[in-house]
Amino acid sequence: MIGVTFTADALNKLRSALQRTRSHEVGGVLVGQHLSADLFAVLDLSVQVTEGTRDHFVRDPSQHRAFLDAFFERTGHDYARFNYLGEWHSHIHVAAIASGPDIATMQAIVADPAVNAAMAVLVVARLGGGDRLEMSATVYRDGSDPAPVALSVIPLHGAAVAPPTPITPTV
C-alpha cells in the first residue's frame, strides 16, 4: 500500500485554505518527496480558489505552473526525488471521498503521455464538525484500479523527519 505523509506545514496550508473558502470547493496540486519504496511526503501544495462551486471544482493548470516551476527550482530539478505527487480538492457538502468525476479526471491524468506521471494521488478533504479535518486519499496508475492510500502527518523541519502519525481517514 502506498503511504502519503503530510508535513505539518502542508497540512496547515490545506486546513487554512478550507477555512477561508467554506462556500465553494477549492483545490490544487501536491508536490513532495519520495522517501522510500512506497512512502511519499507532501512538502507543499498549491491553492486555487477560483473555478469552484459549492458542488464542483476544476483545476486550471495555468494557475499552478509558477508554483510547480518554483518547487522544481528549490529542489534542484531532482525529479526522481522531488516531484508532482497528485491533486487535492475539497468537498463542502458531501463526504471527503473521490466522486465519479474525480475518478475519471485522475484516470485521465495518469493516462495522458504529456503528463508523464507513473502515478498520481488524489486527496479529498473537508472540514467537519468543530473544524475537524476529514481526508481520504486514493492512488491512480494507468491501467490499474484506484487503490486506497494510507495517510499520516509528520513534522518536517529542514532535513529532520519524525515518525509519521496516522491520520484517521473518512469513509
In the numeric block, which cell numbers belong to residue 9?
Answer: 506545514
In the numeric block, which cell numbers belong to residue 75?
Answer: 529542489
Q: What is the 3-state secondary structure (H, E, C) of 11-57?
A: HHHHHHHHHHCCCCCCEEEEEEEEEECCEEEEEEECCECCCECCCCE
CATH of domain 3-166: 3.40.140.10
Q: Distance between CA atoms of 127 and 103, rounded to whole angstroms? A: 21
β 27-36/133-140 pair status: unpaired
Q: Which sign, positive or negative, has the C-alpha torsion 89, 104, 39, 94?
A: positive
Provide the whole-model pTM: 0.85
From first to last of its 171 residues, the chain has per-residue pLDDT tens of: 899 999 989 999 999 998 888 777 889 999 999 999 899 999 999 998 766 556 656 667 777 789 999 999 999 999 999 999 999 998 888 888 998 999 999 999 999 998 888 899 999 999 888 888 899 999 999 999 999 999 988 764 544 344 444 444 444
* CA trace torsion 50, 138, 64, 70 (10° rounding): 140
